[in-house]
Structure 1
Amino acid sequence: MAIIATGAPPARKPSLWGHLYLQVLVAIVAGVALGYFRPALGAEMKPLGDAFIALVKMIIAPVIFITLVSGIAGMREMRSVGRVAGKAFAYFLFFSTLALIVGLVIANLVQPGAGMNANLTADDAAAVKTYVDKAHDQTITGFLLAMIPRTLVSAFTEGSLLQVLLVSILFGVSLSIVGEPARPVADLIERIGLVIFRLVAIVMRAAPIGAFGAMAFVIGKYGLGSLVQLGQLVATFYLTSAIFVLVILGTVARMAGFSILKLIRYLKAELLLVLGTSSSESALPSLIEKMERAGCAKPVVGLVVPAGYSFNLDGTNIYMTLAALFIAQATGTDLSLGQQVSLLLIAMISSKGAAGVTGSGFITLAATLSIVPSVPLAGMALILGVDRFMSECRSLTNFIGNAVATIVVARWDGALDREALDRALNGPMQDKPAAIGPEADPD
């Protein structure tokens, strides 16, 4: 029971500057300005962005573990875990494939690479060699085996979301099977969760610094000139992603009973953070917390969000088919309908398991083109300069897609609190996790 102080002054409304989203927005603008006017100094700001992303990645594993374990342990039937997973992966497969098709269709309609008549050289092949080497390491068998950690503890030290997801599910299922004797362990995990989510709130205070450093580096190193040079491809990708989010995901959201625009407004602080850091992982802990606050059950959030970061990459899928056809058009390579269908099928496989970190989309594209001999792999050098500018859009689209997936799967499973969702999407914005501890007790 919380103690209510009598005669205490009412809590002050936070100032406008106290909102995290405004701080991040100002930091992004400042980073762009520094990178543009002082490119050398802007490029030196890279450690700020890297440090912040490293801080976030430090807490991702415990956040996923605690959320998923405590959720599964609270389930009365183990069939519920399989049911949620089945619905989630059915959603992932359908919309990931749809995103690939959308990218393919738009590339054929707009033809952003037509007329470029690019002549590839040995230097172009050398420029993408690093990414091609990484792509060759990505095989289906290797991907599946990589899901299994070497030890129970190494899952939390090697930075693999899928390993953490696997260990969390097994541990949560074990707690649930043991039952009452394991109750003290489940209670301990819940209490540790209070501390971890408070830690998340502390780390998020450094978000403006990370966004400033990341944006200053991008503009300082690559410059706005490279964006203008291949502006048609970049503009086509951004427009295609916007159509996918507002029209396709917007329709899904409407059918599920909520507004995509209100969801974007609810997640605006996280979206600005993703924009500034070019990594959807930087906002993963906040997404988990906000999805729970929006009425999605903890087991659903704990399973869908981290799994979606590897299997529900709508933005990356749009980018893959769009970029592949751009390279074909720019190099004068004619692809028949059958060859494009083959490209689509290969992309469906290679796109699964791409991590939600900066540069993974480019590596996955290399993996796809290395299997499609009709598209010159060296043509990737044509988009290497502007890939970083498209990375932001990939991450934003992936992030929004996973937020929509979480709400939809929760609704399908009857694990969505509609009143909490309405309060979250229609109420005043909050930029930090809900109060944790005695001060949160409504009594």
Structure 2
Amino acid sequence: MSQSTIKPKKGIGLSTQIFLGLILGIIFGYLFPEYGKALKPVGDVFIRMIKMIVVPLVFSSLIMGIAGTGDFKKLGRLGAKSIIWFEIATTFALIVGLFVVNVLQPGVGVTISGGAGGAAADAAKKTIDHMAMIINLVPTNVVDAMARQDMLQIITFSVFFGVAAAAIGSKGRPVIDLAISVAEIMFKFTHYVMMLAPIGIFGSIAYTVGTYGLGMLLPLGKLILSLYLALILFLAIVLVGASLVVRVNFFHVLRALKEPLILAFSTAASEAALPIAMEKLEKFGVPKHIVTFVLPLGYTFNLDGSTLYSALAVVFISQVYGIPFPLETQIIMLITLMLSTKGIAAVPGASLIVIAGTAAAFGLPVEGVAIILGVDRVLDMARTACNVCGNCVASVVVARWEKELPDESLQVAYAQSYEE
């Protein structure tokens, strides 16, 4: 047999290693809770390593993509198409959330107990000022914005910087070349950090299970199942719908994105999955300038999982307290959430604030938020993975809409997804 026909044996893939880290972390945290709690620094260090990649990667990639495009009308078109898709997806998310919570009624029969009322009351006092949020799109100090990892301000600065760099022609070329080099270095950096992902996820999950225990899931098991079912149903509808509209088999896309999705689920941090998601989408064939524009934008305006959860949680509170919440009121709430959930990624504890504020606005007891705080980490894992998946789907949809992901590239991408 010739040497060329001998295929090297492949070891365990990174996605499999990450999944094993997740399962082993659950087992370890359950069997040895005290040791599991002690592993918190392991998970924290890994997430911090991922987060330190995000800002230079997004900044350099956006400049590279915008300057490389050179067509500013096209840039505006990308933004418009992205926002249209975001609005369609989040509307479906709200509808699915309301459908599932009304059919399964997870709040019926739940025993009301105190314990976290203070946190709920504090959340109700806070409001999300959307006018201030619009003003804050523009940073007064880009270094400060980068230090705080304010993604929307970083995107705003990067867009203007990239447009200006392209507009001055050859004089801006050295800066663009530098951005290209920085982006490539950060992708290699991501590769090194991801080698530690199984260990980091093991520590993070062991801490979560060791701290809260699996017993916390039982009283609110129906709520957890309802949210997970709603998210799966939403993704199925969006994936099938997008497949029919843009003629892409999104189940191949999911196969290609398994690593960032498992990472997002395990860490409950969207930022942790951003660098590897960008890399996988580019490998799938989505042009770099689309990935670097749509994905960061979606992290602010296209939080499908969080939006769905907000609608489901508010109706859940009404069911817990036995307060009538008719369909016409739910539709008004849906319209309210369509507006109030935009841009909430930049606000700490935003989902809690939105749920508490919406509950108060519709005459529901804000104390009901305290009931779900105990299992919020488990709920957050699922909605974070959904957020990441929704934004990756948006990138592929916009690429097809722009006719920059031809059928020939898709066939190659499908073949590669099976090889990995």
**TM-score between both structures, scaled by the size of structure 2:** 0.93
**What is the match of residue 336 of structure 1?**
326
**Cα gap change, 1:358/1:292 in structure 2, threshold over 3 Å: closer, same or farther?**
farther
**Cα gap change, 1:338/1:254 in structure 2, threshold over 3 Å: closer, same or farther?**
closer
Distance 1:154 1:9 in 2: 54
Q: CA deviation at 1:194?
A: 1.9
**Cα gap change, 1:415/1:20 in structure 2, threshold over 3 Å: closer, same or farther?**
same
State the aligned residue count: 419
1:93 to 84, 87, 98: 87
**Cα gap change, 1:162/1:12 in structure 2, threshold over 3 Å: closer, same or farther?**
farther
**What is the match of residue 37 of structure 2?**
43
**What is the match of residue 398 of structure 2?**
409
Q: CA deviation at 1:412?
A: 0.8
State the Cα deviation string for residues 193-240 of structure 1 (Å, max 9, x = none): 221211111111111122111111111111111112111111111111
One-letter amino acid matched to 1:125: G
Secondary structure, aligned partner of 2:344: coil
**What is the match of residue 82 of structure 1?**
76
Q: CA deviation at 1:16?
A: 2.5
Distance 2:188 2:334 in 1: 43
- Equivalent pair of 1:125/1:381 in contact (CA under 8 Å): yes
Q: Which runs of 5+ in 1 are unaligned?
A: 1-6, 432-443
**Are positions 1:25 and 2:14 aligned together?**
no
State the Cα deviation string for residues 267-323 of structure 1 (Å, max 9, x = none): 111211112111222110111112122221222111110011111111111111111
Point out the structure with the larger helix share.
2
Q: CA RMSD in A?
A: 2.3
Q: CA deviation at 1:416?
A: 1.7
Equivalence map 1:46-195=2 (5 Å): 46-116=40-110, 118-119=111-112, 123-132=115-124, 136-195=126-185
Secondary structure, aligned partner of 2:69: coil
**Are positions 1:362 and 2:370 aligned together?**
no
Distance 1:357 1:309 in 2: 12
| Identity rate, percent | 35
State the Cα deviation string for residues 368-400 of structure 1 (Å, max 9, x = none): 334x24111110111111111111110111111
Q: CA deviation at 1:155?
A: 2.5
Give the stretch that moved more between structures: 216-225 or 148-157. Answer: 148-157
**TM-score between both structures, scaled by the size of structure 1:** 0.89
Q: Which runs of 5+ in 2 are unaligned?
A: none
Secondary structure, aligned partner of 1:382: helix
2:277 to 283, 287, 291: 287
One-letter amino acid matched to 1:28: L
2:197 to 200, 203, 207: 207
**Are positions 1:385 and 2:374 aligned together?**
yes
**What is the match of residue 434 of structure 1?**
none
Give the stretch that moved more between structures: 298-307 or 106-115. Answer: 106-115
Q: CA deviation at 1:358?
A: 9.2
- Equivalent pair of 2:151/2:346 in contact (CA under 8 Å): no
One-letter amino acid matched to 1:20: L
Secondary structure, aligned partner of 1:355: helix
Q: CA deviation at 1:357?
A: 9.8
Distance 1:182 1:77 in 2: 16
**What is the match of residue 399 of structure 1?**
388
**What is the match of residue 10 of structure 2?**
15
**What is the match of residue 218 of structure 1?**
208
**What is the match of residue 438 of structure 1?**
none
One-letter amino acid matched to 2:248: F
**What is the match of residue 436 of structure 1?**
none
Give the stretch that moved more between structures: 53-62 or 336-345. Answer: 336-345
Q: CA deviation at 1:12?
A: 6.9
